[in-house]
Amino acid sequence: MRAYFLAATLARLGDEMVATAVVLFVLTRTGDPTLAGITLAAYAFPSVASGPLLGAWLDRSRHRRAALASNQVALGATMLGLLAVVGTAPGWLAPLVAAVAGVTVPLTSGGFTGLMTLLVAPDRLARANSTESISFSVAALGGPALASALALVLSPAAAVLGIAVSAALSLLALAAVPSVPARGAVGRLDVRAGLRHMVATPRLRAVTLTSTLSFGAVGMLLVALPVRTAELGAGGTASGFVLAAFEIGCMATNLALIRLQSHWQTVLVCTGLYGLALTGWALAGSLPVLLVLALVAGFTLGPELPALLGARQRYTPEHLLSQVGTTGASLKIGFSALGAAAGGLLLPVCGPSAVIGLVAAVQGAAVLLGWLASRGRVPVSRAV
């Protein structure tokens, strides 16, 4: 599991650096927030189509490591491509290049998590889910902070190059992960089976809808936050440190409240509290205050991801786990892409505080819709 944890965390570290590094890089080279938002959206949006297909194939494939490695190759090549075209070629080329890596983005989350369930015994899944959540948090903590530090000390271009380095290191660690047998049955590849199962299962439907809408709004937040920290006199690079403070809070409650992951309702409760905490981000008068508020917001959301993973495992047949994971990741990433594009369009009109306020409001709407979606007959769950 050590090689897996290292490979997965490095892959996610590079992915988590993208939002901060690419937005800062595009803003520095072009001064165009709309192009920054569209480029970030282009990186994320292709996964809406690719995720279900990748998951269905992974559930049957004996070559999981090769598939996961392809994501790191695509990510590294895309970052080098952005360094070459942003600010030197027509603007439309940047989103086109970013979209190349977007095809395999679901593998950094659902793809690796599907592999994890084959590497650990069923009675250790609860602890593994917490470790997996820590992997996400470490990456989400280190990614923005590392991107901001590289951009501040060296340049935004160095931050983009750092993503390619992280992808290369993940490839090296992935080589030490043991191969696993195919899990799905042989037969026709049904790329819609995972989505149908998610829609038909009330509690899985609820947590998927809530987490998707919540994460979609975060796309707006990622575009608005550099402008918000600049508005506070700290510069756009300080946005990475705000996100780092948020992830520290997430890790703290993830470790302290591990038993909450067995309850699907945790996803809804955490999302609602997160929305309340976000309202303060729009009102903060200084960077130190914003950092404290980010830490508090992290405290509220920490148990959400382990609870989401636990719900997927509890209410999903084993042969659909990878597809449900990558489909869920695709939905979240796709909605985040729409959020990033919307944030880029709204930011010049409304300003960063209004956009962040809208992000907070969406969290409340996500909880309400998730609660409504949870109603219905609940199937017998799998033991986790």
pLDDT at 8: 87
pLDDT band at residue 188 under the 50/70/90 scheme: low
pLDDT at 317: 80
In a domain, 189, yes or no: no
pLDDT at 359: 94
- Specify whether the CB–CB gap between 301 and 274 falls below 8 A: yes
Concatenated DSSP letters for 330-365? HHHHHHHHHHHHHHHHHHHHH-HHHHHHHHHHHHHH
Task: Tell whether the model's pLDDT for residue 114 goes beyond 80.
Answer: no
pLDDT band at residue 384 under the 50/70/90 scheme: very low
Q: Is the Cα torsion angle 253, 256, 258, 260 positive or negative in sign?
A: negative
Q: What is the pLDDT of residues 128-169, one digit of tens each?
A: 777 777 888 788 778 888 898 899 899 999 999 999 999 999
Share of the chain above pLDDT 70, in %: 90
Encode burial over 330-363: b for 16+ CB neighbours within 10 A, e otherwise: bbbbbbbbbbbbbbbbbbeeebbbebbbbbbebb
pLDDT band at residue 353 under the 50/70/90 scheme: very high
pLDDT at 126: 67
- Mean pLDDT to the nearest integer, 354-368: 94
The closest alpha carbon to 221, from 38, 32, 355, belongs to: 355
Q: What is the pLDDT of residues 294-344, one digit of tens each?
A: 999 999 988 888 888 888 888 888 777 777 877 887 788 778 878 888 888
In a domain, 148, yes or no: yes
Share of the chain above pLDDT 90, in %: 26
pLDDT at 383: 46
Q: What is the CATH number of the domain that holds 351?
A: 1.20.1250.20
Sequence-distant (6+) residues with CB within 8 A of 119 are 1, 4, 177, 178, 180
Lowest mean pLDDT among 71-80, 202-211, 333-342: 333-342
pLDDT band at residue 378 under the 50/70/90 scheme: low
The closest alpha carbon to 338, from 24, 40, 26, 35, belongs to: 40
Task: Tell whether the model's pLDDT for residue 195 goes beyond 90.
Answer: no
In a domain, 258, yes or no: yes
Lowest mean pLDDT among 77-91, 169-183, 263-277, 335-349: 169-183
Alpha helix stretches (DSSP H) within 232-286: 239-256, 265-278
pLDDT at 122: 65
Helix, strand, or coil (residue 258): helix
Lowest mean pLDDT among 15-24, 313-322, 371-380: 371-380
**Dist CA 334 CA 49 (whole Å):** 9
In a domain, 19, yes or no: yes
In a domain, 188, yes or no: no
Task: Tell whether the model's pLDDT for residue 360 goes beyond 90.
Answer: yes
- Specify whether the CB–CB gap between 248 and 298 falls below 8 A: yes
In a domain, 185, yes or no: no
What torsion, rounded to 10 degrees, do the Cα atoms 197, 202, 206, 209 define?
Answer: 40
In a domain, 30, yes or no: yes
Number of structural domains (the chain) is 1
Task: Tell whether the model's pLDDT for residue 45 goes beyond 70.
Answer: yes
pLDDT at 209: 92
- Specify whether the CB–CB gap between 159 and 145 falls below 8 A: no
- Mean pLDDT to the nearest integer, 216-238: 88
pLDDT at 341: 81
Task: Tell whether the model's pLDDT for residue 191 goes beyond 90.
Answer: no
Cβ count near 289 (within 10 Å): 14
In a domain, 344, yes or no: yes
Encode burial over 117-127: b for 16+ CB neighbours within 10 A, e otherwise: bbebeeeebbe
- Mean pLDDT to the nearest integer, 63-69: 79
- Specify whether the CB–CB gap between 377 and 202 falls below 8 A: yes
Provide the residue range defining the domain that includes 133: 2-175+194-373
